[in-house]
Amino acid sequence: MDPALNAALNQPGWEKTFAMAVLHADTTIRKFIWRGFRPRSTGKNEITVGDKSAADFVQEAVKRLITGKRGYDVGKTLLENLNSITDSLIWSGKKQSDTTGIVDYAQIEDEHGEPSDPIATATSFELTPEEKVKHTELLEDQRRCFRQIRDSFDGDAAMQEYLDALAEGIFKRAEISEVTGLEPTVIDELRRKMIKHARKLFGVSDFEELQRRLKEGGL
């Protein structure tokens, strides 16, 4: 086992790193829902790709690192290493189990010879008219759902500013704080409130279910 990897796995924060990697993997799978992918559910809100859950993907990533099948990049943190591998594995798993008929991408392999996520890595090229229509529809789905969530926080200006920043792709707390004027501690509190209030966001297996739940109970 790589000595740097061994040291990282023996750090006191290993459990938290693993937890964050699992949540990252789960988020990655759920993000594909917004690209038209329909993952399976285990019946407990947990979603799977090709019979593998987020935890399964992270376990596989750890296995590949400790057996040397994937090299440990000492220039990155353990979490970044794990996230990079799970992203590839999830994309590969999704590709194999994909029956949604969403846009078919040419398979791209990373430096380790494994399929990489073209959503994250592809360079821009012209889409066919049919693909453009599909992407426009998917984007409109996202905007509509985001508006519903945002509207549910009417009267809470701080929360709406936080949501707007995230929707614009501003993820770093320091940057959100800079553009919104919100203190980082307030941002943490908003996140907690958002998660607590919008647990259903993570409890759906597809967009239709999310819409239904939004209509039934609101967020």
Partner 1 sequence: MKHNEQGPMENLLDGISEHAEALTFDQLRDEAAARGIDLNAALATVNELIAARTREERLGWMKVADKRRESLRVAEKEARYHWRSKSPHDIAAAFESFLNSAPPETALAFRNKGTLSTSDMIEILEANERLKRPSGAND
Interface with partner 1 (CB under 8 A), residue from 100, 142, 152, 177: 142
Closest CA to 31 of 201, 213, 196: 201
Q: Is 15 among the residues that bind partner 1 (CB under 8 A)?
A: yes
Q: Of 175-204, which residues contact partner 1 (CB under 8 A)?
A: 187-188, 191, 194-195, 199, 201-203
| Of residues 19 and 157, the one with the C-beta less far from partner 1 | 19
Q: Which amino acid is at 96?
A: Q
Q: How far is CA 35 from the centre of its chain?
A: 12
For the CB of residue 59, give the shortest distance to partner 1 in the complex, in Å.
5
Find the Cα–Cα–Cα–Cα dihedral 82, 86, 87, 89, rounded to 10°: 150
Q: Which stretch binds partner 1 (CB under 8 A): 48-56, 85-93, 151-159, 211-219?
A: 48-56
Q: What whole-number distance in Å separates Cα of residue 6 and Cα of residue 10?
A: 6
Q: Do residues 39 and 33 lie in contact, with contact meaning Cβ atoms separated by under 8 Å?
A: yes
Tell me which residue of 34, 26, 43, 23 sits closest to 149, measured CA to CA. 34
**Which positions lie near partner 1, rule CB under 8 A?**
1, 9, 15-16, 18-20, 22-24, 26-27, 30-31, 34-35, 41-42, 44-47, 53-55, 58-59, 62-63, 66-67, 103, 118-124, 127, 131, 135-136, 138-139, 141-143, 145-146, 149, 163, 165-173, 187-188, 191, 194-195, 199, 201-203
